[in-house]
């Protein structure tokens, strides 16, 4: 028997700014967005939490921030991770190398990861899953710490960040070098993470889309992806937003958050879901106890 096609549609950076929050909420209320990943150190964190309480069908996970943002811990307690102004490094490659090779990095990563998890749980929201800003949760110095804390904090699901290259290039051949490097890096990290997830009973979608199209998950891309969506549980992740100064401060200048909101609320996209027999689901359902999950 063929397996059903189920889809998680998620947006990162919930809590980054008022504009990001507004874009995510509109995409959920009026469109197909099922999940949001919460930045607990974001400027609009409190507003995001209040909005999530008002939208109980929005599945909310932790968007772990260890680069390009602010820590939750006092910067003085994590001097390897945070600079004197109290920010993580902006360059993800430099940060990744520091976190891997600096002797004190892992101890400080554990301090900050624990602080972010506990700040999320203090909101009273259900923690549906964990992912990372720039997919930092896949870093080989970060993932083992997360997995060590998973049972303690009830983490049942995480994003498995990897995406095939050839289908992405069939849709859009621009930025081939970047997409090739992403594939090489995340396929390697993903293979290691998948084994660790299985060993630790961490659930993740069967496949993920949006990595190579980051910031440009527009209507055409969504329809193209839905028309070729494989069986099983997939995730498409995006960066929906109504752009504002705080979002522009942290995001690349070419990100088109408003176009992603338009795509997520598009009638054409909704019709593609129906035509292809795709059922929307969420990380909250994926991470629910087996007896509470709908038949897959």
**What are the structural domain ranges in the chain?**
5-292
pLDDT band at 3 (very low <50, low <70, confident <90, very high): confident
Q: What is the pLDDT of residues 111-164, one digit of tens each?
A: 999 999 999 999 999 999 999 999 999 999 999 999 999 999 999 999 999 999
3-state helix, strand, coil in the chain (%, to 5): 50, 15, 40
- For residue 291, is pLDDT > 80? no
Q: pLDDT at residue 204 above 80?
A: yes
Tell me: the pLDDT tens digits for 4-63? 999 999 999 999 999 999 999 999 999 999 999 999 999 999 999 999 999 999 999 999
Confidence of residue 2 (pLDDT cuts 50, 70, 90): low
Closest CA to 201 of 158, 168, 249: 158
Q: What is the 3 state secondary structure string of 156-225? A: CEECCCCCCHHHHHHHCCCCHHHHHHHHHHHHHHHHHHHHHHHHCCCECCCEEECCCCCCCCCHHHHHHH
The model's pTM: 0.94
Kindly indicate the confidence band of residue 296, based on its pLDDT and cuts at 50, 70 and 90.
very low
Could you confirm whether domain 5-292 is CATH 3.65.10.10? no
List, as own/partner pairs, every contact residues 78-81 make where C-beta atoms lie below 8 angstroms and the sequence separation is at least 24, other chains included.
78/108, 78/111, 78/112, 79/108, 80/104, 80/105, 80/108, 81/105, 81/108, 81/109, 81/112
Mean of per-residue pLDDT scores for the chain: 95
CA dist 115 and 126 (Å) reads: 17
**What SS3 class is residue 227?**
helix
């Amino acid at each position: 028997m063929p397996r059903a096609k189920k889809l998680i549609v998620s947006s990162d950076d919930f809590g980054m700014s008022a504009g990001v929050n507004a874009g995510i909420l509109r995409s959920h209320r009026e469109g197909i967005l099922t999940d949001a990943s919460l930045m607990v150190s974001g400027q609009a964190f409190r507003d995001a939490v209040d909005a999530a309480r008002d939208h109980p069908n929005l599945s909310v996970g932790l968007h772990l921030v260890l680069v390009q943002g602010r820590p939750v811990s006092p910067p003085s307690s994590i001097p390897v991770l945070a600079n004197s102004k109290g920010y993580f490094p902006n360059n993800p490659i430099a940060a990744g190398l520091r976190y891997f090779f600096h002797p004190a990095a892992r101890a400080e990563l554990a301090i900050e990861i624990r602080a972010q998890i506990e700040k999320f749980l203090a909101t009273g929201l259900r923690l549906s899953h964990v992912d990372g800003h720039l997919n930092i949760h896949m870093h080989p110095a970060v993932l083992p710490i997360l997995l060590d804390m998973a049972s303690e904090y009830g983490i049942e699901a995480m994003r498995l960040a990897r995406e095939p290259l050839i289908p992405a290039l069939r849709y859009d051949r621009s930025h081939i070098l970047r997409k090739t490097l992403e594939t090489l890096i995340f396929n390697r990290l993903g293979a290691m993470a998948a084994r660790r997830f299985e060993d630790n009973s961490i659930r993740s979608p069967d496949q993920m889309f949006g990595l190579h199209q980051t910031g440009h998950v527009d209507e055409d891309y969504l329809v193209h992806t839905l028309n070729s969506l494989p069986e099983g549980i997939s995730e498409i992740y995006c960066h929906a937003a109504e752009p504002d100064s705080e979002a522009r401060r942290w995001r690349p200048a070419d990100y088109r958050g408003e176009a992603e909101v338009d795509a997520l609320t598009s009638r054409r996209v909704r019709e593609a879901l129906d035509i292809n027999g795709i059922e929307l689901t969420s990380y909250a359902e994926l991470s629910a106890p087996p007896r509470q999950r709908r038949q897959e």
